[in-house]
C-alpha cells in the first residue's frame, strides 16, 4: 500500500486527466481514442478512490462504506468498529497528511 500522501497525489493526477478528457469529449463526443482514455482513467480513479477510502477515509460520498473504510485503522476514533466516517483522520485540505 502506498502512503497517504502518495495516494492523494495519484488521485489528483488521474482526476486532472479525467477532467481534461471530459472537456475534450464535450466538443468531440465520438472520438474513440478519447472515449477509451476516459473509460480507462475513470476506472483507475475509481480504484484509487476506493483503495484510499479503505485505508484512510473517503474523499467523496461515493466512497463511504462503513464495512470497509479505514481498514488500516489509522487516525480512527473507533478502532475495530464498523462506523460511518468522513474524517477519521486529518482531511487533505487541512494539511494533515502524514
Domain ranges in the chain are: 4-90
Does pTM top 0.85 for this prediction?
A: no
What pLDDT is stored for residue 2 in this prediction? 74
Q: What is the pLDDT of residues 18-55, one digit of tens each?
A: 999 999 999 998 999 999 999 999 999 999 999 998 88
Q: What is the pLDDT of residues 50-59, one digit of tens each?
A: 999 888 878 8
CA distances to 14, 21, 38, 43, 97 from 74, rounded to whole Å, are 25, 34, 33, 26, 12
> In this structure, what C-alpha cell is assigned to residue 47?
480504484
CA distances to 11, 23, 43, 47, 59 from 34, rounded to whole Å, are 20, 11, 14, 20, 26
The mean per-residue pLDDT over the stretch 60-68 comes to 69
Q: How far apart are CA 30 and CA 4, in angstroms?
A: 37
What pLDDT is stored for residue 36 in this prediction? 93
Amino acid at each position: 500500500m502506498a502512503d497517504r500522501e502518495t495516494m492523494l497525489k495519484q488521485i489528483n493526477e488521474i482526476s486532472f486527466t479525467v477532467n481534461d478528457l471530459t472537456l475534450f469529449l464535450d466538443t468531440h463526443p465520438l472520438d474513440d481514442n478519447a472515449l477509451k482514455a476516459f473509460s480507462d482513467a475513470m476506472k483507475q480513479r475509481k480504484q484509487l478512490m476506493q483503495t484510499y477510502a479503505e485505508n484512510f477515509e473517503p474523499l467523496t460520498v461515493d466512497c463511504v462504506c462503513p464495512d470497509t473504510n479505514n481498514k488500516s485503522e489509522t487516525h480512527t476514533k473507533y478502532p475495530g468498529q464498523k462506523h460511518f466516517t468522513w474524517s477519521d483522520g486529518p482531511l487533505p485540505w487541512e494539511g494533515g497528511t502524514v
